[in-house]
Amino acid sequence: MPEPRTSYVCLPCRASYKQPYGRERADRACPRCTGALIHVGSAFAAPRRRDTAAWRALSVLLHAGVRFHKNCCGGGPGYRPRTLREVKERMAHAQRTGEPFAHALVRAGLPRPG
| Whether the Cβ atoms of residue 30 and residue 37 lie closer than 8 Å to each other | yes
pLDDT for the residue numbered 19: 86
Q: Is 34 left (phi over 0), alpha (psi -120 to 50) or beta?
A: left
Closest-CA residue to 15 (of 36, 42, 46, 40)? 46
Residue 38's Cα: distance from chain center in Å? 9
Domain range list for the chain:
5-105
**pLDDT tens string for the chain (114 positions)?**
677 888 999 999 999 999 887 766 667 899 999 999 999 988 899 999 999 999 999 999 999 988 888 766 656 677 888 888 988 988 998 999 999 988 888 887 777 665
pLDDT for the residue numbered 24: 62
CA-CA distance, 3 to 62, in Å (whole number)? 25
